[in-house]
Chain A
Amino acid sequence: MTVSITRRALLGHGAALALVIGAAPRAMAQDLATSRALVDRLVAEVNAVIASGAAENAMIGQFAQIFQAYADAPTIARYSLGADARAATPDQLARYTQAFSNYVARKYGSRFREFIGGDIVVEDARAVPNGVEVQTTAVFVNEAPFRVDFWVSTATGSPKFFNIIIEGVNMLLSERTEVQAMLDQRGGDLERLIADLSRM
Chain B
Amino acid sequence: MNRLLQVFVLSLLAACSAAPPKGGINDPYEGLNRRVHALNKAVDQAVLRPLGRTASGAPDGSLQPVVNFSNNAGLPGTVVNNLLQGNIDGAARNTLRFVVNTTVGVLGLADPAGAIGLREVETDFGATLAVWGVPEGAYLELPGFGPSTERDAAGRVVDFVIDPLDRLDGVAESVRELSFPAKVAEQVVERGQFGSTFDEILYDSADSYAQARLIYLQNRRYELGEAPSAADEDYYFNPYEDQQ
User: Once the chains bind, are B207 and A178 in contact (CB under 8 Å)?
Assistant: yes
**In the complex, chain B residues whose CB is within 8 Å of the CB of A151:** 236
Min distance, Cβ B25 to any Cβ of chain A, angstroms:
10
User: Once the chains bind, are A130 and B219 in contact (CB under 8 Å)?
Assistant: no
**In the complex, chain A residues whose CB is within 8 Å of the CB of B242:** 85-86
Q: Which of A75, A129, A167, A169 contacts B232 (CB 8 A)?
A: A129
**In the complex, chain A residues whose CB is within 8 Å of the CB of B205:** 178, 181
Query: Looking at chain B, what size class is its interface with the partner chain?
Result: 20 to 34
Chain B: CB-nearest residue to A127: B230
Contact A78 B239, CB 8 Å, known A128-B230, A182-B206: yes
User: Once the chains bind, are B211 and A178 in contact (CB under 8 Å)?
Assistant: yes
User: Once the chains bind, are B206 and A178 in contact (CB under 8 Å)?
Assistant: yes
Chain B: CB-nearest residue to A179: B206
B215-244 CB contact bits vs A (8 Å, 1 = yes)? Answer: 100111111000100111100111110110
Chain A: CB-nearest residue to B231: A129
Min distance, Cβ A52 to any Cβ of chain B, angstroms:
22
**In the complex, chain B residues whose CB is within 8 Å of the CB of A155:** 240
Q: A162 contacts the other chain (Cβ, under 8 Å)?
A: yes
Min distance, Cβ B89 to any Cβ of chain A, angstroms:
19
Chain B: CB-nearest residue to A111: B196
**In the complex, chain B residues whose CB is within 8 Å of the CB of A153:** 240
Contact A169 B215, CB 8 Å, known A133-B230, A181-B210: yes
**In the complex, chain A residues whose CB is within 8 Å of the CB of B215:** 169, 174
**In the complex, chain B residues whose CB is within 8 Å of the CB of A75:** 239-240, 243
Q: B214 contacts the other chain (Cβ, under 8 Å)?
A: yes
Contact A185 B206, CB 8 Å, known A75-B243, A177-B211: yes
Min distance, Cβ B47 to any Cβ of chain A, angstroms:
25
Q: A170 contacts the other chain (Cβ, under 8 Å)?
A: yes
Contact A168 B207, CB 8 Å, known A128-B230, A174-B215: no
Chain A: CB-nearest residue to B232: A129
Min distance, Cβ B236 to any Cβ of chain A, angstroms:
4
User: Once the chains bind, are A168 and B214 in contact (CB under 8 Å)?
Assistant: no
User: Once the chains bind, are B239 and A79 in contact (CB under 8 Å)?
Assistant: yes
Min distance, Cβ B166 to any Cβ of chain A, angstroms:
29
Cα A182 to Cα B215 in complex, Å, equals 18
B36-69 CB contact bits vs A (8 Å, 1 = yes)? Answer: 0000000000000000000000000000000000
User: Once the chains bind, are B239 and A162 in contact (CB under 8 Å)?
Assistant: yes
Query: For chain B residues 146-205, which have a beta carbon within 8 Å of chain A?
Result: 196-197, 200, 204-205
User: Once the chains bind, are A168 and B240 in contact (CB under 8 Å)?
Assistant: no
A64-103 CB contact bits vs B (8 Å, 1 = yes)? Answer: 0000000000011011000001100000000000000000
**In the complex, chain B residues whose CB is within 8 Å of the CB of A76:** 239
Q: A105 contacts the other chain (Cβ, under 8 Å)?
A: no
User: Once the chains bind, are A181 and B206 in contact (CB under 8 Å)?
Assistant: yes
User: Once the chains bind, are A177 and B243 in contact (CB under 8 Å)?
Assistant: no
Q: Which of A79, A167, A172, A177 contacts B207 (CB 8 A)?
A: A177
Q: A16 contacts the other chain (Cβ, under 8 Å)?
A: no
User: Once the chains bind, are A130 and B236 in contact (CB under 8 Å)?
Assistant: yes
**In the complex, chain A residues whose CB is within 8 Å of the CB of B239:** 75-76, 78-79, 130, 162-163, 172
Min distance, Cβ B127 to any Cβ of chain A, angstroms:
14
Known: A111-B200, A129-B238, A182-B206; 10 extra A-B contacts, CB below 8 A, are A76-B239, A107-B200, A129-B230, A130-B239, A153-B240, A168-B220, A169-B218, A178-B207, A178-B211, A185-B206
The 3 closest A-B pairs by CB, nearest first: A168-B222, A181-B207, A181-B206
